[in-house]
């Protein structure tokens, strides 16, 4: 099981407040608990301030081909939005982010693991269910799974010709992140405060 | 003595590194350090360099300090979680070790224990942050230290000739924001790239020491070009090493090349950091030829 939980209000407002957003809700696979009510409430609030250009509510947004068709249908609404707000697990956010490569794509949820079956997502992207989703700081590319050291404060000195020191077939995750942030005009995010990982989060959820 | 004091005095700061042995007999290493490195500002001690298990950096720093040298305690995040790292920082303070070089560290897969768990609980930036926290009298868990908190000179690394230098500069900026006070660089063989890098890095206002590895052989250069991130030895230099095999074997060519790189980069940086890799005996001649 996975649990996706809405990030706190303050974070969500800093992402979506005063911006035109397009919302994508993933009701997910059967293995994901999705915060239906809270998500609906958030959307209502954002709509009341007149800043939602459109929305999709569906399942398996991590299926790239399926998702591509749906996004095509909403091309204009997405085009007029400043950002796309995705309510899903980390895999879904990364799928959307890869497809809408010149649009800021933000994760509205954190993803936590729960004991049990982990879902049947077509895993082209990986979510480590770390419970403190970094995708909003890293252009929708996960530093936990795309970097072999899971570094959250930038590139180490081990990248050569764009490849990771551990695996010469693997692209350096932080070079990908840098390129993507440059593409969406958000290199300023690299100046965010020092990130210190919190490995206690899954326990907090269980409590 | 804190290395930052030497930078503040405007000195061109010279440091060199020693690598502890795989074993605990360090008489030879201490003798070499005393003979060839006692004239320089400080001596770095590597921390299980290249993820190869060796004698610890902290204990070796203490041994060097007892011999009257100024050690720089290198710490990586590969082998210890934040509790062990913070604890070792306090141990360093107990021993009067005042200089740190804080790194992420190579991955375990690169070393001689590829089966080991890579830790990386912290990384170079959050480790610098942790040191700052301790200096303020509070640990990363938010708990107060007993008594006067420790004070360190906090160093970090950067790779000026990396093929993704802008990504490196972004990381350098984060290290400065976290509290890094001086930088040592990956080995440089391309002065023009280093100078371009320094043009961009000077905005951070922190002293930078040029990293130097004395090229020992053609094979070593080829190996570094293929396998070591952030290092590129230009073909002309490799040709120079090829030209006179005896001269290269004796280390004369390598020292000439390294001295030339230092001379070309010297006006643009605040010091030099020599990674002699067993050629500590050549450091005095290198410095003489570099005009230091």
In chain B, domain spans: 3-290
pLDDT band at A120 (very low <50, low <70, confident <90, very high): low
Model confidence band, residue A207 (pLDDT cutoffs 50, 70, 90): very low
DSSP string, B62-111: HHHHHTT--EEEEE-SSS--HHHHHHHHHHHHHTT--EEEE-----GGGS
Does pLDDT of B81 surpass 70? yes
If you average pLDDT over residues B46-62, what whole number do you get? 98
| Interchain pair B171, A154: CB under 8 A | yes
The residue that leads in pLDDT, A49 or B101, is B101
> Which pLDDT score, from 0 to 100, does residue B99 have?
98
Residue B173 touches partner A, C-beta closer than 8 Å? yes
Using the predicted structure, report yes or no on whether residue A34 has a pLDDT greater than 90: no
Residue A44 has pLDDT above 80, yes or no: yes
pLDDT at B61 over 80: yes
Q: In chain B, which residue's Cα lies nearest the Cα of A181?
A: B167
Interface residue B200 vs chain A (CB under 8 A): no
Mean pLDDT value across residues B172-201: 98
The distance of A180 to chain B (nearest Cα, Å) reads 12
Query: Which tokens is B222 given?
Result: 């080829």
Q: Minimum mean pLDDT among A95-104, B6-15, B66-75: which range? A: A95-104
* Exposure string over A118-155, b if 16+ CB within 10 A, otherwise e: bbebeeebebebbbebbbbbbbbbbbbbbbbbbbbbbb
Closest-CA residue in chain A for B118? Answer: A149
CATH class for the domain made up of B3-290: alpha beta
**With pLDDT > 90 as the criterion, what percentage of chain B qualifies?**
100
pLDDT in tens, A133-170: 999 999 999 999 999 999 999 999 999 999 999 998 99
- Could you identify the residue written with the tokens 């298990």? B53
CA B209, CA B274: separation in Å to the nearest integer? 9
Contacts of A139 in chain B (CB under 8 A): none
Which residues from B are below 8 Å from A190, CB to CB? 170, 173-174
pLDDT at A118 over 90: no
User: Does A30 score more than 80 pLDDT?
Assistant: no
Minimum mean pLDDT range among A40-49, B7-16, B150-159, B253-262: A40-49
Q: What is the per-residue pLDDT for A68?
A: 87
B177: chain A residues, CB-CB within 8 Å: 191, 193-194
CB contacts, 8 Å: B178 with chain A: 153, 194
Of B107, B174, B177, the CB nearest to A158: B107
Mind telling me how many Å the CA of B34 is from chain A's nearest CA? 31
CA distance A132 to chain B (A): 15
Q: What is the mean pLDDT of residues B2-15?
A: 98
pLDDT at B89: 98
pLDDT at A86: 95
Q: Which residue of B has its CA nearest to A189?
A: B170
Question: Do the bridges between strand A2-6 and strand A109-113 make them parallel or antiparallel, or are there none, so unpaired?
Answer: antiparallel
- Using alpha carbons, select from B19, B66, B87 the residue that is nearest to residue B280: B19
Q: Which helix (H) or strand (E) holds B7?
A: helix B3-8
More confident residue, B108 or A18: B108
Q: Which residue of A has its CA nearest to B173?
A: A191
SS3 content of chain A, % helix, strand, coil (to 5): 35, 15, 45
Contacts of B159 in chain A (CB under 8 A): 157
**Residue A203 has what pLDDT?**
55
Res. B197: pLDDT tops 60: yes
Q: Residue A181: its chain B contacts at CB < 8 A?
A: none
- Average pLDDT over all residues of chain B: 97
Q: What is the tally of helices (H) and strands (E) in chain B?
A: 12, 8
Tell whether A118 lies on the interface with B, counting CB pairs under 8 A. Answer: no
Distance CA B258, CA B274 (A): 9
- The answer to whether the beta carbons of residues A112 and A53 sit under 8 Å apart is no
Given A151, A190, A191, which is nearest B104 (Cβ)? A151
Q: How far apart are CA B223 and CA B218, in angstroms?
A: 9
CB atoms within 10 A of CB A36: 12
> In whole angstroms, what is the distance from residue A102 CA to residue A139 CA?
10
Contact B229 A197 (CB under 8 A): no
Identify which of A149, A159, A195 has the shortest CB distance to residue B118.
Answer: A149
* C-alpha to C-alpha distance for B47 and B50, rounded to whole angstroms: 9
ipTM over 0.85: yes
Of B109, B170, B227, the CB nearest to A166: B109
Residue A31 in this model has a pLDDT that exceeds 90: no
Residue B195 CB neighbour total at 10 angstroms: 16
* Residue A166 near chain B (CB below 8 Å): yes
- A18: phi then psi, degrees, rounded to nearest 5: 70, 5
Q: Does any CB of chain A come closer than 8 Å to the CB of residue B125?
A: yes
Tell me the pLDDT band of A206, cut-offs 50, 70 and 90: very low
- In sequence order, what are the residues at sequence separation of 6 or more whose Cβ sits closer than 8 angstroms to the Cβ of residue B154? B100, B102, B128, B131, B132, B179, B180, B181, B182
* B57 pLDDT above the threshold of 50: yes
- Binning pLDDT at 50, 70 and 90, where does residue A121 land? low
Give the pLDDT score at B2: 98
Q: Which two tokens stand for residue B15?
A: 């440091």
Render pLDDT for B245-263 as a digit per residue (tens, 0 to 9). Answer: 999 999 999 999 999 999 9
Distance CA B180, CA B123 (A): 13
List the domain boundaries for chain A.
2-206
Point out the residue among A153, A178, A187 whose CB comes nearest to the CB of B123.
A153
Answer whether A169 touches B (CB < 8 Å): no
Candidates B123, B162, B186; nearest CB to A151: B123
Q: How far apart are the C-alpha atoms of A93 and A104, rounded to whole Å?
A: 11
- pLDDT at site B191: 98
**C-beta separation of A111 from A131 below 8 A:** yes
For residue A204, pLDDT over 80 is answered with no
Distance from CA of A195 to the nearest CA of B (A): 7
* Partner residue facing B170 (CB), from A150, A152, A190: A190
């Amino acid at each position: 099981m996975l649990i996706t939980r809405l990030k706190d209000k303050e974070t969500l407002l800093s992402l979506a407040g005063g911006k035109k957003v397009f919302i994508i809700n993933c009701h997910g696979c059967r293995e994901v608990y999705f915060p239906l009510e809270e998500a609906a409430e958030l959307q209502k609030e954002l709509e009341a301030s007149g800043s939602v250009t459109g929305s999709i509510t569906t399942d398996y947004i991590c299926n790239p081909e399926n998702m591509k068709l749906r996004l095509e249908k909403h091309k204009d609404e997405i085009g007029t939005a400043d950002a796309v707000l995705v309510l899903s697990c980390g895999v879904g956010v990364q799928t959307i982010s890869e497809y809408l490569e010149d649009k800021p794509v933000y994760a509205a949820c954190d993803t936590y693991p729960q004991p049990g079956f982990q879902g049947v997502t077509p895993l082209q992207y990986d979510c480590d269910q770390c419970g403190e989703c970094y995708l909003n700081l890293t252009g929708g590319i996960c530093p936990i799974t795309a970097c072999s050291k899971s570094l959250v404060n930038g590139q180490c000195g081990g990248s050569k010709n764009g490849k990771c020191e551990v695996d010469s077939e693997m692209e350096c995750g932080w070079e990908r992140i840098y390129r993507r942030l440059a593409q969406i005009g958000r290199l300023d995010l690299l100046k965010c405060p020092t990130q210190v990982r919190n490995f206690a989060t899954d326990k907090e959820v269980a409590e | 003595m804190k290395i930052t004091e030497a930078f503040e005095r405007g000195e061109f700061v010279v440091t060199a590194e020693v690598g502890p042995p795989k074993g605990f007999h360090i008489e030879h290493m201490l003798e070499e350090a005393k003979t060839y490195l006692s004239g320089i500002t400080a001596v770095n001690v590597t921390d299980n360099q290249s993820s190869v298990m060796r004698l610890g950096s902290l204990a070796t720093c203490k041994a060097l300090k007892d011999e009257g040298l100024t050690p720089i305690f290198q710490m990586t995040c590969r082998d210890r979680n934040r509790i062990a790292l913070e604890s070792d920082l306090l141990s360093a303070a107990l021993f009067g070790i005042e200089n740190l070089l804080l790194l992420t560290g190579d991955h375990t897969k690169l070393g001689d224990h590829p089966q080991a768990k890579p830790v990386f609980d912290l990384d170079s930036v959050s480790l610098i942050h942790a040191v700052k926290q301790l200096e303020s009298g509070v640990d990363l868990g938010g708990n107060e230290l007993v008594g006067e908190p420790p004070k360190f000179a906090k160093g970090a690394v950067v790779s000026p000739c990396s093929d993704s230098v802008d990504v490196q500069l972004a990381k350098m900026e984060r290290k400065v924001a976290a509290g890094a006070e001086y930088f040592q660089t990956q080995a440089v063989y391309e002065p023009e790239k280093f100078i371009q890098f320094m043009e961009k890095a000077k905005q951070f206002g922190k002293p930078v020491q040029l990293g130097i590895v004395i090229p020992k052989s053609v094979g070593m250069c080829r190996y570094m070009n293929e396998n070591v991130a952030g290092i590129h030895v230009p073909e002309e230099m490799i040709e120079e090493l090829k030209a006179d095999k005896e001269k290269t074997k004796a280390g004369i060519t390598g020292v000439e090349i390294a001295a030339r790189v230092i001379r070309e980069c010297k006006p643009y940086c605040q010091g030099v950091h020599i990674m002699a890799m067993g050629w500590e005996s050549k450091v005095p001649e290198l410095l003489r030829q570099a005009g230091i």
